[in-house]
Amino acid sequence: MPRQVHHFDRPSRFVAGTVGQPGDRTFYLQASDGDGRVVSVALEKSQVQVLAERMDELLDEIATRPGTAVPTTADVDDLDPLTPPVDEEFRVAAMGLAWDGEAQAVVVEAVAATDEPVDEDAILSDAEEGPDALRVTITPGAARSFVARARRVVAAGRPSCPLCSLPLDPTGHVCPRQNGYRR
Examine the pLDDT at 61 and tell me if it is beyond 80: yes
Where exactly are the structural domains of the chain? 5-178
CA distances from 62 to 57, 93, 104, 106 (A): 9, 27, 10, 10
Q: pLDDT band for position 98 (50/70/90)?
A: very high
Q: How confident is the model at residue 182, as a pLDDT?
A: 63
Average pLDDT for residues 37-52, to the nearest whole number?
A: 97
Average pLDDT for residues 51-70, to the nearest whole number?
A: 90
H runs (alpha helix) in 10-139? 45-63
Distance of CA 154 to the CA centre of its chain: 10
The closest of 5, 115, 11, 97 to 48, measured between CA atoms, is: 97
H runs (alpha helix) in the chain? 45-63, 140-155
Enter the CATH code of domain 5-178: 3.30.2450
Examine the pLDDT at 75 and tell me if it is beyond 70: no
Angle (CA) 136-141-143 rounded to 5° is 40
Element (H, E) at 8: strand 5-9
Strand order in the sheet with 133-138: 5-9, 133-138, 105-112, 88-100, 38-43, 26-32, 13-19
Q: How confident is the model at residue 163, as a pLDDT?
A: 82
Average pLDDT for residues 103-122, to the nearest whole number?
A: 88
Average pLDDT for residues 80-102, to the nearest whole number?
A: 95
Q: How confident is the model at residue 183, as a pLDDT?
A: 56
Q: Which residue has the higher pLDDT, 98 or 129?
A: 98
Which amino acid would we find at residue 106? V
Sign of CA dihedral 5, 10, 13, 17: positive
